[in-house]
Structure 1
Amino acid sequence: MPQLNPDPWFSTLMLSWVIFLTIIPTKVLAYVQPNELTSASTDSFGFNAWGWPW
């Protein structure tokens, strides 16, 4: 039964898992937070009260 012979596909399986476990997570984690987060000051917002003209 040729389906049970692991020689043709085992190296492809192992190579794909090596790629999935080493290269792809590093690329995905690079896009999680590309910039440093800065907290916005509440004093910098200049809210002008707008009253209804009626």
Structure 2
Amino acid sequence: MPQLNPGPWFAILVFSWLLFLAIIPTKVLNHISPNKPTPVSTEKHKTGSWHWPW
């Protein structure tokens, strides 16, 4: 039964994970967001009490 022989399948598994761990993080970390974050102002907004019409 070839599926019980872990030799070639384990090597394929290890090499594929090494490939994924080497390529995918570099592509993700090189991603540049098109929208730059804007700083939030520290001033408070004036909020008044609500006057309900009933």
Q: TM-score, normalised by structure 2?
A: 0.50
Q: TM-score, normalised by structure 1?
A: 0.50
